[in-house]
Chain A
Amino acid sequence: MAEKVPVLSVQDVHKQFGDTPVLNGVSLDLFRGDIKVVIGPSGGGKSTLLHCINFLVKMDAGNIYLNDTRIDQSRKRELYAYRQKVGMIFQDFNLFDHLDALHNVMIGLVQVRKLPRSEARQRAEAELERVGLKDHMAKYPAELSGGQKQRVSIARALAMEPEVMLLDEPTSALDPELIGEVHEVIRAMAALGMTMLLVTHEIGFASTLAKEIYFMDGGRILEQGPPQKILFDAEQARTREFCSKIGRLNENSD
Chain B
Amino acid sequence: MIEELLFIRQEVAPELIAGLWMSIQLIIPSAVCGLLIGIVIGTLRVYGSPGLKGFAGIYVLFFRGFPLLVQLYLWYFGLPRIGIYLSPFAASVIGFSLCSGAYQSEYIRGALQSIRKGQLLAAYSIGFSHTRAIFSILLPQAVRRALPGCGNELIYLIKYSSLAYMVTCIELTGKGSILANFHFKYLEIFIIVGAIYLLLVSVVSVGLNYLEDRIAVPGFDRPKI
Judge whether A94 and B128 touch: CB under 8 Å.
no
Judge whether A80 and B128 touch: CB under 8 Å.
yes
Judge whether A90 and B218 touch: CB under 8 Å.
no
User: Nearest chain A CB to B193's CB is how many angstroms away?
Assistant: 41
What's the tally of chain B residues with a CB closer than 8 Å to chain A? 22
Residues of A within 8 A of B129 (CB): 76, 80
CB-nearest residue of chain B relative to A105?
Answer: B126
The CA-CA distance from A83 to B127 in the complex, in Å, is 5
Judge whether A83 and B122 touch: CB under 8 Å.
no
Residues of B within 8 A of A153 (CB): 122
Would you give the 0/1 interface string for A148-176, flagging 1 where the beta carbon is closer than 8 Å to chain B? Answer: 00000100110010000000000000000
The CA-CA distance from A51 to B121 in the complex, in Å, is 9
Residues of B within 8 A of A56 (CB): 121, 124-125
Chain A CB within 10 Å, residue with most, of B124, B126, B217:
B126
Judge whether A98 and B127 touch: CB under 8 Å.
no
Judge whether B217 and A111 touch: CB under 8 Å.
no
In this assembly, does A177 line the interface, its C-beta being within 8 Å of a C-beta of chain B?
Answer: no
| CB proximity to A under 8 Å, residues B122-164 | 122-129, 132, 136-137, 140-141, 144
Judge whether B122 and A143 touch: CB under 8 Å.
no
Judge whether A107 and B121 touch: CB under 8 Å.
no
Residues of B within 8 A of A107 (CB): 136
Judge whether B125 and A142 touch: CB under 8 Å.
no
Residues of A within 8 A of B122 (CB): 88, 90, 94-96, 153, 156
Judge whether A111 and B144 touch: CB under 8 Å.
no
The CA-CA distance from A6 to B122 in the complex, in Å, is 25
Would you give the 0/1 interface string for A60-94, flagging 1 where the beta carbon is closer than 8 Å to chain B? Answer: 00000000000000001000110110011010111
In this assembly, does B223 line the interface, its C-beta being within 8 Å of a C-beta of chain A?
Answer: no
The CA-CA distance from A107 to B9 in the complex, in Å, is 57
In this assembly, does A239 line the interface, its C-beta being within 8 Å of a C-beta of chain B?
Answer: no
User: Nearest chain B CB to A29's CB is how many angstroms away?
Assistant: 21
Judge whether B128 and A111 touch: CB under 8 Å.
yes
Judge whether A156 and B126 touch: CB under 8 Å.
yes
Judge whether B144 and A98 touch: CB under 8 Å.
yes
Judge whether A108 and B127 touch: CB under 8 Å.
yes
Q: Which of A84, A90, A111 makes the CB contact (< 8 A) with B118?
A: A90
User: Nearest chain B CB to A156's CB is how many angstroms away?
Assistant: 7
User: Nearest chain B CB to A146's CB is how many angstroms away?
Assistant: 14
Judge whether B121 and A108 touch: CB under 8 Å.
no
Judge whether B128 and A140 touch: CB under 8 Å.
no
In this assembly, does B220 line the interface, its C-beta being within 8 Å of a C-beta of chain A?
Answer: yes
Would you give the 0/1 interface string for B188-213, flagging 1 where the beta carbon is closer than 8 Å to chain A? Answer: 00000000000000000000000000
Residues of A within 8 A of B136 (CB): 107, 111
The CA-CA distance from A95 to B220 in the complex, in Å, is 14
Residues of B within 8 A of A54 (CB): 124-125
Judge whether B121 and A94 touch: CB under 8 Å.
yes
Residues of A within 8 A of B119 (CB): 94, 96-97
Residues of A within 8 A of B116 (CB): 94, 97
Judge whether A143 and B218 touch: CB under 8 Å.
yes
In this assembly, does B83 line the interface, its C-beta being within 8 Å of a C-beta of chain A?
Answer: no
User: Nearest chain A CB to B94's CB is how many angstroms away?
Assistant: 35
Q: Quick one: given A140-B218, A142-B219, are A97 and B141 in contact (CB under 8 Å)?
A: yes
Residues of A within 8 A of B126 (CB): 83-84, 87-88, 108, 112, 156-157, 160
Q: Which 8 A-B pairs have the closest CB atoms?
A: A142-B219, A94-B122, A94-B118, A88-B125, A84-B127, A108-B126, A80-B127, A140-B218
Given contacts A51-B121, A98-B141, A98-B144, 14 further A-B contacts (CB under 8 A): A54-B125, A55-B124, A80-B127, A87-B125, A90-B122, A92-B118, A97-B219, A98-B137, A98-B140, A98-B220, A111-B128, A142-B219, A143-B218, A160-B126
- A–B complex contacts, Cβ < 8 Å, 23 sampled: A55-B124, A84-B126, A84-B127, A87-B125, A90-B121, A90-B125, A93-B118, A94-B116, A96-B122, A97-B116, A97-B217, A98-B137, A98-B140, A108-B126, A111-B132, A111-B136, A112-B126, A112-B128, A112-B132, A140-B218, A141-B219, A157-B125, A160-B127
Q: Which residues on B are within 8 Å of A, measured CB to CB?
A: 116, 118-119, 121-129, 132, 136-137, 140-141, 144, 217-220
